[in-house]
Amino acid sequence: MAWSLLIKNGSVVDGSGAPAAAADVAVEGDRIAAVGRGLSGEAARVIDATGLMVTPGFIDIHSHTDLFYHACPAAESKVRQGVTTEVVGMCSFSPAPVAPGGAEAVKAWAAGIGSRLVITWQTFAQYMDHLRGLGPSVNIVHFVGQGALRLAGMGAENRPPAPRERKDMERLLAEALEAGAFGFSTGLVYPPSLYASTEELVALAKSMAKRGGLYFSHIRGEAATLEDAIKEAIRIGEDGGVPVQIAHIKAAGRENWGKMDRALRLVDEARARGLDVTADVYPYHAASTKMDNLLPAWTHDGGIAKLLERLHDGAARRRIVDECSVDGERWKTASGTVGWDEILVATCSRPELAGTNLAQLARDTGMAPAEVMLDLLRDEQAQVSMVVFSQSEDNVVKALAHPHVMIGSDSLGLSAGPGPHPGKPHPRMYGTFPRVLGRYVRERKLLSWETAVNKMTGMPAAKLRLKDRGLVRPGLAADLAVFDPATVLDLATFVDPHRHPVGIPYVVVNGQVVVDGPRYNAAPAGRVLTPP
């Protein structure tokens, strides 16, 4: 036999949850050709994996790199973690569809997390062509954002859709599915997604049920209303007839930390009734999102221009402070109450602010923290992202250990060093998968290697119904990660986030060695995947 690549002497953890087994893995072109002990044959390239684990490439079940492929198609911070497939179009955001004249609204929205999109498309199909043309190094599974559907179908208004607008949104969803979307996502704390009623979302889900579409939900509240929000997502799945994924499951705000057990039990109960509902989690007790998410929902009504008007208006600012300020020290948000010292500026146009918390900024300027935040959002045109320490480590552990929770980074693929994303973003962009392996498997023994790898590979592949990925089996796509179980570890921290992990010497995407020891081969190895 002659193969293009032979990975010899590794311990194969095949992604199914089955025990690790010593085996060689042969690759021909973009497929796994053989898996077995002592494979003998010619290979153009041989990698000696003695002492290393050979696993399917990781599937990041919740990612936002769709807002960044144009700047960094290599998605280096992801692939260096072992990620070979990313699921994007999450939390109601997707760069398409775009209504005629609607590009500015979509750009402003993407800019909130530091993206500078240049929009040259309108339909989802045109956008998918654009994405293929970028030559990403990672495989892409795309969802369409329900916020994007609403923006394109009826604008940013806070009201129910007229019957014709509802039909338009269903047509746009059908077009997206036809073009390769796997389903739709909501972000029910983000306008305009949050303006949709449960009933509107059930109808949208019903319209895609026959086509096998999936519903991925950033739910309507991860804090005080956590349980109701999970029930709503489950109801949309049950009444709409579609599988459900609960994104980045968490209980935000210390007053809500006790709700996590019940939240996970709701998932178990719905599964027992027959719903395909699962969840994902990132292994950190801090979240990251747009800073304008600290403001009450009404401030976003009418879109970004209206928001900026309100940030200039003294009466509106007083109303915001009256509604949200708890005692001058804490701030009430849709994600629970947070202390000013728990909110860090991640990115904005002023790099010197990155990594500084709002309590510190307030002390530095002699202003009240709320005024500092409102001024920053006003001066930066709401284009500020933040890191918020709102969760408990115990709950992160509970989610990681749950049998139906997989791993999703909720992050962007970036390049380390000087690049398009300055500032201090959440370290999960560089560290999610090696952090689970190094800290929660090797150090804390919370999970076995096989279970952790299953949560990163076979489990998400099954959820997405990807028949040829997520396992190390002959005939499947040659997406592989090779890591050292003795050393794999994340190095990115909140203070120093732009650091690649250690202990992952090889990552293979569709048969191409993209991570090759210290070298990063930013080849267009990835594919834009389509649903079965």
Is residue 113 near Zn ion by the rule CB under 5 A? Answer: no
Residue 91 vs 234, nearer CB to Zn ion: 91
CA-CA distance, 296 to 310, in Å (whole number)? 12
Could you tell me how many residues of this chain bind Zn ion (CB under 5 A)? 2
CB 32 within 8 A of CB 478: yes
| Region binding Zn ion by CB under 5 A among candidate stretches 87-95, 145-153, 309-317, 508-516 | 87-95
| Region binding Zn ion by CB under 5 A among candidate stretches 31-39, 83-91, 149-157, 202-210 | 83-91
Give the tokens for residue 453: 């790898």
User: What's the DSSP call for residue 237?
Assistant: H
Is residue 249 near Zn ion by the rule CB under 5 A? Answer: no
Is residue 396 near Zn ion by the rule CB under 5 A? Answer: no
Interface pattern 353-392 for Zn ion (x via CB under 5 A) = ----------------------------------------
CA-CA distance, 252 to 224, in Å (whole number)? 8
Instruction: Indicate the SS3 state at residue 253.
Output: coil
H or E element, residue 106 = helix 103-111
Q: Which of 32, 75, 91, 117 binds Zn ion (CB under 5 A)?
A: 91
Shortest Cβ 113–Zn ion spacing (Å): 11
CA distances from 202 to 187, 216, 239, 274, 440 (A): 15, 13, 6, 18, 37
| Region binding Zn ion by CB under 5 A among candidate stretches 218-226, 395-403, 435-443, 484-492 | 218-226
Q: Which of 142, 218, 220, 469 binds Zn ion (CB under 5 A)?
A: 218
Residue 55 vs 288, nearer CB to Zn ion: 288
Is residue 194 near Zn ion by the rule CB under 5 A? Answer: no
Nearest-5° Cα angle at 280, 275 to 285: 140
Q: Which residues contact 249 (CB under 8 A, 6 or more apart)?
A: 263, 264, 279, 280, 281, 399, 405
Shortest Cβ 35–Zn ion spacing (Å): 36
Is residue 500 near Zn ion by the rule CB under 5 A? Answer: no
Shortest Cβ 248–Zn ion spacing (Å): 6
Interface pattern 132-151 for Zn ion (x via CB under 5 A) = --------------------
CA distances from 353 to 113, 347, 385, 389 (A): 15, 8, 11, 17
Of 145, 79, 82, 182, the C-alpha closest to 416 is 79
Shortest Cβ 218–Zn ion spacing (Å): 3
Residue 11 vs 185, nearer CB to Zn ion: 185
Is residue 5 near Zn ion by the rule CB under 5 A? Answer: no
In the chain, what are the helix, strand and coil shares in percent, each to the nearest 5? 35, 20, 40
Shortest Cβ 263–Zn ion spacing (Å): 15
Q: Contact positions toward Zn ion, by CB under 5 A?
A: 91, 218
